[in-house]
């Protein structure tokens, strides 16, 4: 069936059919009225890419270097929370698909596999770890020490989550972590027996960082994350983390400068996929400001809204060095486990290659802002 999948939107359609509504909506949804989420997508939809005819480039090189390592594509897998709730293989599927494609994989603090399990599943993959600072700073220190010891060499520190965003779909679905057995979930199970069978028959759904109790997401997060997260905390994390460090959630010039002054090696322009501050700037709008503040030599990654290879190419042309995919990865995972994630990376690769060829660009260094225009509708 995957051979008939054309794009990531097709995988989303399959994912929606296969996954219980609360889990699908947790991925698909965003904060508040989802304005930022919609804006992220609209910004890409309203772009025009400049074609170049008679360019004579039969070959396209999509490889790049990021955080000190080669990546076969300018795209890596973003950190995602509660991943095994979407599909039981969870992060193991993600890291194996990333290893196969030669791109980095990021494990979230809120992941559902341990750093050791992810490292063992794909020893050759480039592995990054994402940090949410817990109220218990020493527990956070212990976690990143384990990540470093397991071969995770780059830390992505997420800074836009002092409190949980208002995810209204989760509230309306009565979503809990782990899922509770209710009349609604039992009914759902009759439509999607495979998902429930997988959940109940593979290793128990545990969360590295959670106690066994069932809770709604916001209470869970607000009880765990440090709401006083500050620039001093970033300085402390910088002091104790020996590898490369990227600050994730930068949308303004001021925050870009403060992060770099505090020792960050790079920045991630991200609005958390529209899942935190609704009406936060759309990432494609924020990118030029952050690039200008950071200068040309700082590595900048980009996320939020990427669904096609041409989205990646546009973000790179407008100043990013690398892109991360969260929802797109999870649509593939929910649709078909590891095979689905591989499919996502294959689709992006093909779309990027064709886009570059038709734009007359032979490698990523040839992409410039002049190749992308915004249209007012
Ligand atoms: C404060 C909300 O990054 C998500 C994940 C998991 C953690 C939630 C943090 O749902 O966006």
Look at residue 222 in the predicted model and tell me its pLDDT: 87
Distance CA 328, CA 308 (A): 9
Tell me the pLDDT band of 215, cut-offs 50, 70 and 90. Answer: confident
Q: Which residues make beta-bridge pairs with 268?
A: 248, 301
Q: Which residues on adjacent β-strands are paired with residue 245? A: 155
Tell me if 156 CB under 6 Å of ligand 1. no
Instruction: Give the tens place of pLDDT for each residue, 57-109.
Output: 889 999 999 999 999 999 999 999 999 999 999 999 999 999 999 999 999 99
Which residues are 48's β-sheet partners?
373
Q: What's the 359 CA to ligand 1 centre distance in angstroms?
A: 36
pLDDT of 177 higher than 60: yes
d(CA 107, CA 237): 17
The secondary element (H helix, E strand) that includes residue 372 is: strand 372-374
pLDDT at 291: 98
Q: Given this model, what pLDDT does residue 209 score?
A: 47
The residue whose CA has the least distance to atom 1 of ligand 1 is 164
pTM comes to 0.95
Q: Under a CB-based contact definition with an 8 Å cutoff, are residues 132 and 161 in contact?
A: yes
Q: What is the reported pLDDT for 213?
A: 63
The pLDDT, as a whole number, for residue 78 is 98
Check if the beta carbon of residue 252 is closer than 8 Å to that of residue 271. no
Q: Determine the pLDDT at residue 42.
A: 96
Q: Give the mean pLDDT of 172-201.
A: 80
Task: Compute the average pLDDT of residues 132-156.
Answer: 97
Which of 103-112, 167-176, 291-300, 355-364 is least confident?
A: 167-176
**Does residue 377 carry a pLDDT above 70?**
no
Backbone torsions φ then ψ of 209, nearest 5 degrees = -105, 10
| Model pLDDT for residues 264-298, shown as the tens digit of each residue | 999 999 999 999 999 999 999 999 999 999 999 99
- What average pLDDT does this structure show over 316-334? 98
Distance between first and last Cα of the chain: 37
Query: How far is residue 191 from each of residues 14, 22, 89, 196, 197, measured CA to CA in Å?
Result: 14, 14, 20, 10, 12
Tell me, using a 6 A CB cutoff, whether residue 324 lines ligand 1: no
**Ligand 1 pocket, residue 110 CB under 6 Å:** yes
* C-beta 272 within 6 A of ligand 1: yes
Mean pLDDT of 129-157: 97
Give residue-wise pLDDT tens across range 299-310: 999 999 999 999
What Å distances lie between residue 195 and 171, 198, 334, CA to CA?
Answer: 22, 5, 9
Beta pairing, strands 75-77 & 322-325? parallel
pLDDT at 208 over 70: no
Mean pLDDT value across the chain? 93
Measuring from atom 9 of ligand 1, which residue has the nearest CA?
164
Say which DSSP state 267 is in. Answer: E
Residue 226 vs residues 163, 214, 223, 271: alpha-carbon distances, Å:
8, 20, 8, 19
pLDDT score of 361 more than 70 = yes
Burial 56-82 (b: 16+ CB within 10 A, else e): eeeebebebebbeeebbbbbbbbbbbb
Per-residue model confidence (pLDDT) at position 216: 84
Topology, domain 2-363+370-374: TIM Barrel (3.20.20)
Average pLDDT on 6-34 reads: 96
Specify the residue with its C-alpha closest to ligand 1, atom 7: 81
The CA distance from 2 to 10, in Å, is 10
The rounded distance, in Å, linking the Cα atoms of 312 and 303 is 9
């Amino acid at each position: 069936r995957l051979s008939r999948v054309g794009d990531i939107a097709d995988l989303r359609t399959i994912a929606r059919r296969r996954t219980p509504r609360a889990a699908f909506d947790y991925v698909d949804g965003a904060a508040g009225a989802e304005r930022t989420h919609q804006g992220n997508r609209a910004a890409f939809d309203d772009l025009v890419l400049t074609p170049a005819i008679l360019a004579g480039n039969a070959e396209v090189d999509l490889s790049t270097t990021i955080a000190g390592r080669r990546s076969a594509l300018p795209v890596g897998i973003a950190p995602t929370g509660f991943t095994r709730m979407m599909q039981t293989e969870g992060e193991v599927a993600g890291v194996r698909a990333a290893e196969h494609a030669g791109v980095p994989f990021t494990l979230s603090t809120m992941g559902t596999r341990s750093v050791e399990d992810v490292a063992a599943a794909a020893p050759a993959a480039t592995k990054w770890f994402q940090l949410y600072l817990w109220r218990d700073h020493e527990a956070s220190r212990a976690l990143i020490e384990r990540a470093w010891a397991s071969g995770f060499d780059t830390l992505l520190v997420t800074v836009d989550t002092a409190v949980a965003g208002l995810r209204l779909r989760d509230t309306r679905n009565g979503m809990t972590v782990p899922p509770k057995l209710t009349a609604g979930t039992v009914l759902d199970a009759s439509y999607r027996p495979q998902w429930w069978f997988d959940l109940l028959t593979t290793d128990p759904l545990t969360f590295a960082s959670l106690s066994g109790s069932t809770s709604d997401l916001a209470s869970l997060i607000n009880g765990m994350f440090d709401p006083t997260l500050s620039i001093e905390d970033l300085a402390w994390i910088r002091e104790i983390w020996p590898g490369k460090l990227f600050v994730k959630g930068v949308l303004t010039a001021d925050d870009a400068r403060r992060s770099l002054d505090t020792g960050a090696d790079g920045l991630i322009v991200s609005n958390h996929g529209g899942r935190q501050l609704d009406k936060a700037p759309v990432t494609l709008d924020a990118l030029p400001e952050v690039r200008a503040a950071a200068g040309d030599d700082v590595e900048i990654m980009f996320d939020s809204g990427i669904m096609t290879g041409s989205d990646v190419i546009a973000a790179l042309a407008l100043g990013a060095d690398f892109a991360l995919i969260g929802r797109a990865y999870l649509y593939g995972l929910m649709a078909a486990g590891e095979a689905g994630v591989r499919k996502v990376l294959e689709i992006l690769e093909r779309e990027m290659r064709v886009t570059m060829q038709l734009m007359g660009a032979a490698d990523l260094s040839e992409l410039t802002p002049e190749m992308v225009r915004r249209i007012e509708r």
